[in-house]
Amino acid sequence: MALTDPTKPTDVALLTDLYELTMAQGLWESGKLDEQASFTAFYRDHPFGSAFAVMCGTADLPDLVENMRFTEEDVAYLASLQAPAGGALFKPGFLDYLRSFRMHVDIDAIPEGELAFPREPMVRVTGPALECQLLETALLNTVGFQTLVATKTARVVQAAKGRPVAEFGLRRAQGPDGGMAVARASYVAGCASTSNVLAGRKYGIPVFGTHAHSWVMSFDSELEAFRAFARSSPKNCTLLIDTYDVREGCENAITVAKEMEAAGERLSAIRIDSGDLAKLSTYVRGRFDAEGLDYVKISVSNDLDEYTVQSLLDQDAPIDSFGVGTKLATCYDQPALGGVYKMAARRAAGDAAWTPVVKLSEQPYKRTIPGVQRVRRYMDVAGSPVCDMIYDEVYLAGEGAERGNTLVAVNDAALVTDVSHLDFRELLEPVVRDGRAVAPREGLQTARERCDRALEALDPAYKRFLYPQTYVVGMEQGLARVRDELVRERLAATPGALPWKTTKL
């Protein structure tokens, strides 16, 4: 697949929903090839009940854009598609256009590892409207899933309170691409290692693993299995002690640990994969300490998530590390971020000015924010984020430097905040210009360190699992007025407005 293997560009152009291509054909036929648009990708609701998300996946966007070419095989397939009412779905002239197609878009995005909040642009795509439209599906697929995984991982790592968390989810992930994306995103958000060897090779992530229950079952006795593994891997020896009975497994591991000591080696750890992990880890810790083996670590697994990890440590379970698989790799309690990609401004061919546009809905929270958007993050004197402001870079530049000091909350127009006394920094950074990467691909370690700093700076009130404080995301006051005016104009121009449309905005 293209997103984990950019050497296969054939996969990229058709990694889309069909309606993206039918819309592209319509724009081509309507003479709109030179019309410009600005789209934003964002999410509306908090994932996992969290107050934040961890941005991930944007490093893949340059590969996505640069490889979006239509091969003869692609064109032949599209030419074979039939319309429901009969006849070819795509016209020969449009297919000829696709043969020489390449992207010319500009992309700005929140860097990987940085925090993102609901309704603000995670990614902004500006350029020919047809090209912006063609990017929608693949962009959301790339950024949405990795951001979701990174957010889940950050919560698990937070619950572990500094203890290493290994990502063990490959066998339960949604296919090979899902497994690769999980390994990558989880490392950005703080996992210490992965079991995924391909991800280790491709991304430089530390890999970790020892043995399974089947190893123990391959021998006549558990003790024999432990001894054989210690001989085979004396420098990487973690024994899984719950194949039959944890207490018996503990005694066998103690025996092997002492034999390893006599041979000048050390047992690294034991792992427990079932049962009452708090009770069993306490028992095992007591037995190893009583035998002078206090250096042997205890690792646990077994369908862990942030809540079980937090519960174990709240019980003072003497656990040194965690292996987290299914519930991280599948984002078990929320399988999708719910990201959306909406047009926010357009510019006709030959025009210098952008026209902001807005989408309405009978569900007010689905109303979009107009403009060529950027985001500022405001910090208190300690450097902790306090609010984010969405603004229209074109509008603000035209209004002068005195503008942009008042924030109106996106979901509560009554919440107005003066931010003139706060320091800020811009969140969106250039990723692609004219369809080409603007810089070498950033290493995962850089994104990982950025994530660590971002979470460390965030107030604990936003990081708690139960009823976290809501982080304020707002519009610059002038942009809020522009949106209100656009909404009123659109409602006034709509015949037979429904009662909900007459309420005061």
**Strands 321-324 and 297-300, how do they pair?**
parallel
**Domain boundary pick from 271, 295, 319:** 295
DSSP 73-94: HHHHHHHH-B-TTSSBSS-HHH
Does any domain span residue 234?
Answer: yes
Domain count, the chain: 2
Does any domain span residue 77?
Answer: yes
Order of strands across the sheet with 238-240? 193-194, 165-167, 321-324, 297-300, 269-272, 238-240
Q: What string of H, E and C letters represents the secondary structure of 223-253?
A: HHHHHHHHHHCCCCCEEECCCCCHHHHHHHH
Does any domain span residue 257?
Answer: yes
Does any domain span residue 452?
Answer: no
In 434-488, the DSSP E strands lie at: 436-437, 472-476
Residue 291's φ and ψ, nearest 5 degrees, are -95, 10
Would you state the structure tokens that stand for residue 146, as one six-digit string?
């990795």
Q: DSSP 3-state assignment of 181?
A: helix
For residue 4, what pLDDT is reported?
A: 43
Q: What is the domain range of residue 92?
A: 1-5+7-30+69-102
pTM summary value: 0.93
**Domain boundary pick from 273, 295, 317:** 295
Sequence-distant (≥ 6) Cβ neighbours of residue 273 within 8 angstroms: 213, 240, 242, 300, 301, 302
The pLDDT profile of the chain, 505 residues, written as one tens digit per residue, is: 334 443 344 478 999 999 999 999 999 999 999 999 999 999 999 999 999 999 999 999 999 999 999 999 999 999 999 999 999 999 999 999 999 999 999 999 999 999 999 999 999 999 999 999 999 999 999 999 999 999 999 999 999 999 999 999 999 999 999 999 999 999 999 999 999 999 999 999 999 999 999 999 999 999 999 999 999 999 999 999 999 999 999 999 999 999 999 999 999 999 999 999 999 999 999 999 999 999 999 999 999 999 999 999 999 999 999 999 999 999 999 999 999 999 999 999 988 899 999 998 777 778 899 999 999 999 999 999 999 999 998 877 655 444 679 999 998 888 999 999 999 999 999 999 999 999 899 999 999 999 999 999 999 999 999 999 999 999 999 999 999 999 888 888 776 555 544 444 3
Q: What is the CATH number of the domain that holds 235?
A: 3.20.20.70
Q: DSSP 3-state assignment of 436?
A: strand
Residue 454: half-sphere exposure toward Cβ, Cα within 13 Å: 25
For residue 37, what pLDDT is reported?
A: 98
Would you state the structure tokens that stand for residue 487, as one six-digit string?
């909404």
Residue 219 and residue 235: Cα distance in Å, rounded? 21
Does any domain span residue 485?
Answer: no
Does any domain span residue 304?
Answer: no
The number of beta carbons lying within 10 Å of the beta carbon of residue 337 is 22
Does any domain span residue 228?
Answer: yes
**Domain boundary pick from 295, 325, 356:** 295
Does any domain span residue 119?
Answer: no
Quickly list H helices, 67-174: 72-80, 92-99, 129-160
